[in-house]
Chain A
């Protein structure tokens, strides 16, 4: 083996180590770290959005509506479910669970929120839906064809879901639409 060959070999080895290390770092950063940072939580029971709309003919506003005082109801309470599900209508496992574990003992379903904001945030659905005429899907996932509720990824450090809207997104849109970005517009 000549000296020149040796140099070439060590050069190749260096490149190989670099590529392996780089790919490893990317793997850790993109796959391992998010797995460690976010815990996966499942909803207490599966809610089938599609079947409620297609077979039961319900509209979004039957559950997600504005109250008369202008506040937004968000997720429905058990009373809304009981209107139809006092007894099981079908044969699905999640409906049986709904009746036996929540409707009969009259216990609220502990849904996990996909977009829970911190306590000091004030968000007006009225301002965005009624005034700015935004679509629900501009911020939330499209649930129209959804048959299975996806798991919620919760940040282990902060306790907030990963889909939560960050402050810079709010500020950015407010600036573009020439809406006030004063603190008290969104903070309480």
Chain B
């Protein structure tokens, strides 16, 4: 099953935390792009759905040593072999890693809402629909047509805007190409980042910017010691952030 060595494409992301200002444009863009439902009261973060969540980090020291940073958190599309933790536990094959792209996808209509994957995910990247989505009147007209809405009782998560990959491939096929060029497929969060702190691309293409940055000495991943092999890398020049990422206190 583990085809993750045979494919030439492994989509991944690098987020430069030194550049991130915590403006949350990525979070808003994600919510809008993927028609993520919201509730009247979004303050309870254990109940709300936020595919792209921003954590505020600080080093816990008083002024003048006090430091702050922001950590954009999305599904890390784990590359562990043979399965990412979430797809390993799914009893109905509703979630699965596409071994041609490395993207972990989730098909809500097949999901039975058992939430094993939510427990298995080490990164809290999965969310449960406790209610049917409701959009106030004009907003129903503004849903993204290329993304299907979800219903009560199913899990959902970041798809790396896989519908954008589908549309990019569609265009390439009509132009007679099989391979995508760098930058043709980019998720909404990356596109919206005003600080250009997020870079997206093929990690296996040694010429791509994302592959070069992922090899930087400032690069790290969240909870690397678990062996989940996330495909989302973070960059930071500050040691305390890198230590937080591996939960070393």
Residues of A whose CB lies within 8 Å of any CB of B are 66, 69-71, 118-120, 122, 124, 126-127, 130-131, 180, 182-185, 187-188
Contacts and interface: CB of A to CB of B under 8 A. Distances in A.
9 A-B pairs with least C-beta separation: A70-B171, A126-B173, A182-B98, A70-B170, A120-B148, A184-B105, A70-B174, A126-B174, A184-B162
A120 B110 CA distance: 11
Given A119-B148, A122-B163, 7 more contacts: A70-B170, A70-B174, A71-B167, A122-B166, A126-B170, A182-B105, A188-B146
- Listed residue (B147, B174, B176) with the most chain A CB atoms within 10 angstroms of its CB: B174
A184 B101 CA distance: 10
B96 interface: yes
Contacts of B159: 184
B107 A70 contact: no
Interface in B108-167: 108-110, 146-149, 159, 162-163, 165-167
B105 A187 contact: yes
20 contacts: A69-B170, A70-B167, A70-B174, A71-B167, A118-B109, A120-B108, A122-B146, A124-B169, A126-B170, A126-B173, A127-B173, A130-B174, A182-B105, A183-B98, A183-B105, A184-B98, A184-B159, A184-B166, A187-B107, A188-B148
Contact of B178 (A71, A119, A131, A182): A131
Contacts of B98: 180, 182-185
Given A120-B109, A183-B96, A184-B159, A70 B172 contact: yes
Nearest to A182: B98
A131 B173 contact: yes
For the complex, would chain B's binding face be called helix, strand, loop or mixed by DSSP majority?
mixed
Interface of B: 95-101, 103, 105-110, 146-149, 159, 162-163, 165-167, 169-176, 178
A127 B166 CA distance: 10
Nearest to B165: A184
Contacts of B95: 183
A119 B35 CA distance: 14
Contacts of A180: 98-100
A66 B170 CA distance: 10
Contacts of B146: 122, 188
B176 A130 contact: yes
B171 A69 contact: yes
A71 B145 CA distance: 13
- Listed residue (A66, A126, A183) with the most chain B CB atoms within 10 angstroms of its CB: A183
A115 B38 CA distance: 33
Given A182-B105, A187-B107, A124 B100 contact: no
